[in-house]
Amino acid sequence: MRLEFGENDRIEIDLGAQAILGAQRTGEKIAVEIKSFLNDSALLDFHLALGQFLNYRLVLEAIEPERILYLAVPFAAYESFFWRDLPRLAIQKYQVKLLVYEPQKETVLQWIS
């Protein structure tokens, strides 16, 4: 999903859809930024993902305010990292909606709003 913002900025969100990934989200317009968390530092991956997510959300709010943005994270990263204080606080503070997925099976395990 490509979005133009202003004269010089173009962003690409991994997935944009109207009927998406499962019956739980049918009828909602959403966009999903998918992250793999494969680097040695989960904290660095989180910093990058959060910054990207917040910028994408700003653009979506201006261009398509009805579209809801989700950050998709693999189950292993969610289980091993997202329980920590900093990610939990950031997710709460910035109201990040998460989609937890299983990369091998390519299935959604949990929607967290």
Q: Tell me how crowded residue 16 is: count the other CB atoms within 10 A of its CB.
A: 19
Mean pLDDT of 86-102: 95
In 45-96, at which residue ranges do the beta strands (DSSP E only) sit?
Answer: 68-74
pLDDT tens digits for range 54-72: 988 998 898 889 888 999 9
Quote the pLDDT of residue 89.
95
Model confidence at 26, pLDDT cuts 50, 70, 90, reads low
CATH at residue 46: 3.40.1350.10
Number of domain units in the chain: 1
> How far is it, in rounded angstroms, from Cα 85 to Cα 89?
6
Domain coverage including residue 65: 2-112
Indicate if the pLDDT at residue 85 is higher than 90: yes
DSSP SS3 for 50: helix
Query: Is the Cα dihedral 97, 101, 106, 109 positive or negative?
Result: negative
